[in-house]
Every structure is written in C-alpha cells, then in structure tokens.
Amino acid sequence: MKRLFFYLRRYRRESVLAPLFKLLEATLELLIPLIVSAIVDRGVGGGDASFVLTRSLFLILLGVIGLGFSVTAQYFAARAAVGSVAAMKSALFAHIGALSHRELDDLGTPTLITRMTADANQVQNGVNMALRLLLRSPFVVFGAMIMAFTVDARSAVVFAVIIPALGLVVFAIMLSCLPLYRKVQQKLDTVLSKTRENLTGARVIRAFCKEEEEAGEFREANGELFSLQKLVGRISALMGPLTYAIVDIGVIFLLRRGAIRVDSGALSQGDVIALYSYMSQILVELIKLASFIILTTKAVASANRISAVFDVAPSLRSGERTADPSAACAVEFRGVSLRYARNAAESLEDITFSALRGETVGVIGGTGSGKSSLLSLIPRFYDATEGTVLVDGVPVGEQDLAALRRRIGVVPQKAELFSGTVRENLLWGREDASDGEIWRALELAQAKSVVEEKGGLDFVIEPGGRNLSGGQRQRLTVARALVGEPEILLLDDAASALDYATDAALRAALASLSGKTTLFHRLAARRLGDAGGQDHRARAGAGRRDRQERRALPDLRGLPRDLRLTV
C-alpha cells in the first residue's frame, strides 16, 4: 500500500478536494432532519403554510447544492484514482520489462497478467471509494450522533450504544475477509493459468483427444475458486443483515423512548422525526461503509500482490564497460554452466569454446539438450550459474546491457510478431532504418515476395501474426533481426517452418554475411549445411550424460566447414 501512496502524491490536490466536497455534502445532509423537524412542529403543527413552503424550497436548494458537491467530489476522486493507478501500471509494466527471464519464469505469465489487469482495477475502485467514503461515512455516523444529542440527550443514548456495536461487527467481518480475498486472488491465478494453457495449446489438446481431461482439471480449479468465493461471500453477506438488525433494534428503543417523552411533553413530534432521520442516516451510511470495506479489503489484497511484484528485484544489473573492437573472438565461453530456478540438474555444464569474428557456428543436439539455453546466454537473457561468457573480449555481465543487445540480432525459436504494419515490426531492429534497408533485409530473409504480395510495408499484421503462415512469420522475424545489421546473429532454429528450397535460399543469403557477422545456427539434430565461412566445433552437454563427452574442445579451428557444434 505504501507504493500506492507514492503514486497518489502526484494527485494531492484531487485527493484533498474529493473528501472535502464530500464532507460539505454530508454537512448539508445533517441539517435536513432539523429543517424537517421545524416543518412538522411549526409549519404543520402551527398551520403555517408559508413556513412549510419556504422551508421546502430551502430543502430543494440544499439538495441542488449537495448534488453539485457530490458530482465535484466524484470528479476529483475519479481523476485521482484513474491517474494514480495508470501511473502505477506504467511503472509495473516497466518493472516487469526490466526483470530477467529467470524472474519472469518464476512469477509466471498468468500471475503478471492478473496483477496488471484484475488487481489494478480492484485497486482503482478501492481508491475511488476511499476518497469518497473514507471520511464521509464516519463523519455522517458520528455527526448524526452529535446532532441527535443536540435534539435530546436522553433519547440519543441509544446512538452511543448502537454505533460501537456496529463498528465491532464491521471490523470483525473485515478482518475475517481480508486473508480469504488473498486466497481468492491466488485461486484466480490458477484458473487463468489453466485457461491460458488450454487456449494456447488448443490444437495439441485436440490432437491427443485430451479435451475431457483438460476440462476436468479446469472444473476442479474453477470449483476451488467458486467454493472459496462462496465462503467469503457468505461472510461478507452477514454485514447487511447484522447492521440492519442492530439499527432496527435501536430504532425500536428510540421510538419507544421518544413516544414516552412526547406523551410527557418533554419532546416534540418533530424532534422524534429528527432522531429517527438521524438513525436512518446512520443505517444508510453503514450500508455504504460495509460495501466500502468489502471493496477496500479486496483492494488492499490486490495492492499487496502488486507490491510483491515490485519487490522482485531484477537479477540482471547493467554494467558500464564497452566492447573491445580489437578482440579476436566475437563470443567466448569459459567453463559456463547454467541451472534454471527450482531445477536440480544443470541444463548446461562446463561449456568452453570460442567463435572468431565472421565465423559460422552450428549448435546441434537432441531435444532438451540445452541448445536454446546456450544461445540465450550470449545476449544475457540469463546469467550463467558458473563460468564466464565474453562478447568481444569483455564479460557480458560487465557490459552495458542495452549496448550489448544492440550489437546482437536474435531470431527466437517461436516467431513473435506484434500488431502493426510490417514496417513498424521491422523497425524494432533499428529505429532509424530506411525503407531501402528494410527491403534489403527482407530480400536476405527471403521475405520480399511475401511482403510484396501482401501490399508492401504498410500491410497490417494482426497480434501474434495471426494473418500470416508459420513460414512467413519466421522469415519476417529473420528480416527484423537483419535490419539492425548485427555483429552477432543468433538463429534459434529459425527455419523450422520453411520448405527445403526456401531454407536453402535463406542459408545461401546468410552466407553472404560471412566475414562481417558471426552467425550462430541452432538446429534440431540436422546438418548445418554449407553456409560459408569457417565452422567451429565444441561439445557441451546437459543433465548427467557422460561428462567426458561434455567437456569442451579447447581449439578446433581448421576443422571441416560442415562440422557440427554438438550439444
């Protein structure tokens, strides 16, 4: 919650004016029972029609002024709530972007999406309600009690008993619901995770006829969420009946005592009506306060969950050193090992090899052998558990992270495109690239004909590249990496969806980069092929396979060009 107050500080004026106008509205509301009492006693009882008319017009005027105060308070409260939460979401998005793959794997995508959407909306609603009701409702409750004592102190003793009893009920329910709402949000994460898995893996589920099994797992997760929501809903639902019962008991005692005092002449009928009106105001405000507390309880739980993400510190720290252009090796691994979080076995162990500038390196191995993990260490998506990865002679951990990644082009195993035009997607490679440079990259990536058929660089790509085939997406991701003219190009099985002819043409085009760009091809247990340049070989392994076979070969330059770098 402290982090939320930091963003609310930007809206100090709105955060003060919203409660202030609500207090002004509440003040007018507390005056109404006194005016009604005067109308009953003097206007109706005394038969003074003009008095009734003038006081009625005055009540209408108070209503209009109160409406203006209420609308103004709502405007400032909404402005503060929406603005502060928008700033918090922007900061959260930036913080998530600064996290390494290790933290993102640990937190999980469904959890982060829930924090950015459902939890943030809960916080926004909670802030809005807090600015409007946090001061207003207690002010009306205690103000009504004070005004009741000004009318008749003996009858108003009922208020002094009712209000503490109501407070005890409200806070007991609030304290009971707070931990349950946290569990509800955790169960919601599980349901969202199952939903995301089923939607992204729909084809696989159908291919293996797992619809019933997945539906059963979803029903189980959804049932747990439903049961927990029913439990917290039942506890929250007690607030309405209990507050009504307590207030109704207070009304009964108030009317009985008021009737006795009216009969004795110590109290007028208008005063009894005023006392009843104050009791009704307390009831209405406590109902609002009950809803506010339930909403605030959810908002506090959601705010704490968002703060937990902010508390996750990025494990990657950018260095300050720059690359050494005179270094002979573009990439060098020295005894590198990698273990993922909560994984007992090492994915990579004792990797040692070097790649000279302009060389082509093929990384070939079986599924799960650590090929993608090896490539992800070069742009520092992960930090090595042991050993050192050097780019241009400088350890990647000591280099400026942005400068390092600007010199590296990455084509991921899964082709990811974003909503926007072809030009907008390819400019990710280099923001100041001209159309001529973009077309050159498309030609090298064998995607020029695809873009021309689609209508040019202004063709709009749907989110995830839904309106493109798998091969078209892969070629555009290759072109995106080539636009930046990288010194090091990492191809993580970037041609898996291409036919043989297109694959061969792409490799021939990439061969023209030999001498200028160091290429890393990650392939799934198939030959690298004649891509030109001097291939390099090393051996590395994963898990607990033969350690002798996993040790890196120190210097294998001069071997045949079509030799594999085996993982």
Q: Reduce the secondary structure of 203-253 to three states and give it as a string.
A: HHHHHCCCHHHHHHHHHHHHHHHHHHHHHHHHHHHCHHHHHHHHHHHHHHH
Per-residue pLDDT of the chain (567 residues; tens, 9 = 90+): 677 788 888 898 999 999 999 999 999 999 888 888 888 888 887 778 888 899 899 999 999 999 999 999 999 999 999 999 999 999 999 999 888 888 888 887 878 888 888 889 989 999 999 998 888 888 988 888 888 888 888 888 888 888 888 878 877 887 888 788 778 877 887 887 888 888 878 888 888 888 899 999 999 999 999 999 999 888 888 877 888 888 888 888 888 888 888 888 778 888 888 888 888 888 788 778 777 877 887 788 888 888 888 988 888 788 888 777 777 788 999 999 988 877 667 888 888 988 888 888 888 877 778 888 899 999 988 888 899 999 988 898 888 888 888 889 998 888 888 889 999 999 998 888 999 999 999 999 999 998 999 889 999 999 888 888 888 998 999 999 999 888 899 988 777 778 888 888 888 888 887 677 888 887 654 444 443 333 444 333 333 333 333 333 333 333 333 334 444
pLDDT at position 1 is 63
What pLDDT is stored for residue 344 in this prediction? Answer: 64
CATH 1.10.30.50 fits 329-566, yes or no: no
Whether the model pTM is above 0.85: no
For the domain made up of 2-310, the CATH class stated in words is mainly alpha
Q: What is the pLDDT of residue 524?
A: 54
- Of 78, 80, 34, 23, nearest to 58 by C-alpha is 34
User: Can you read off the two tokens belonging to residue 477?
Assistant: 């991701």
At 262 the pLDDT is 83
Cα radius of gyration rounded to whole Å, the chain: 35
Neighbours of 53 (CB within 10 A): 12
3-state secondary structure at position 134:
coil
Question: Is 449 exposed, middle or buried (CB count within 10 Å of its CB: 0-12, 13-18, 19+)?
Answer: exposed
Using DSSP bridges, classify how beta strands 420-421 and 460-461 pair: parallel, antiparallel or unpaired.
antiparallel
| Rounded-to-integer distance, Cα 283 and Cα 289, Å | 10
Strands 394-395 and 408-411: unpaired
User: What single-letter DSSP state applies at residue 444?
Assistant: H
Calculate ∠ Cα 330-336-559, nearest 5°: 55
pLDDT of residue 110: 76
The answer to whether 514 touches 532, Cβ cutoff 8 Å, is: yes
Q: Do the strands 360-365 and 565-566 form a parallel or antiparallel pair, or are they unpaired?
A: parallel
What are the start and end residues of each CATH 1.20.1560.10 domain in the chain? 2-310
The predicted structure's pLDDT at residue 69? 94
What is the location of CATH 3.40.50.300 in the chain? 329-566
In this structure, what token pair is assigned to residue 230? 């029913």
Question: 394-395 and 386-391 as β-strands: parallel, antiparallel, unpaired?
Answer: antiparallel
Task: Report pLDDT for 57.
Answer: 93
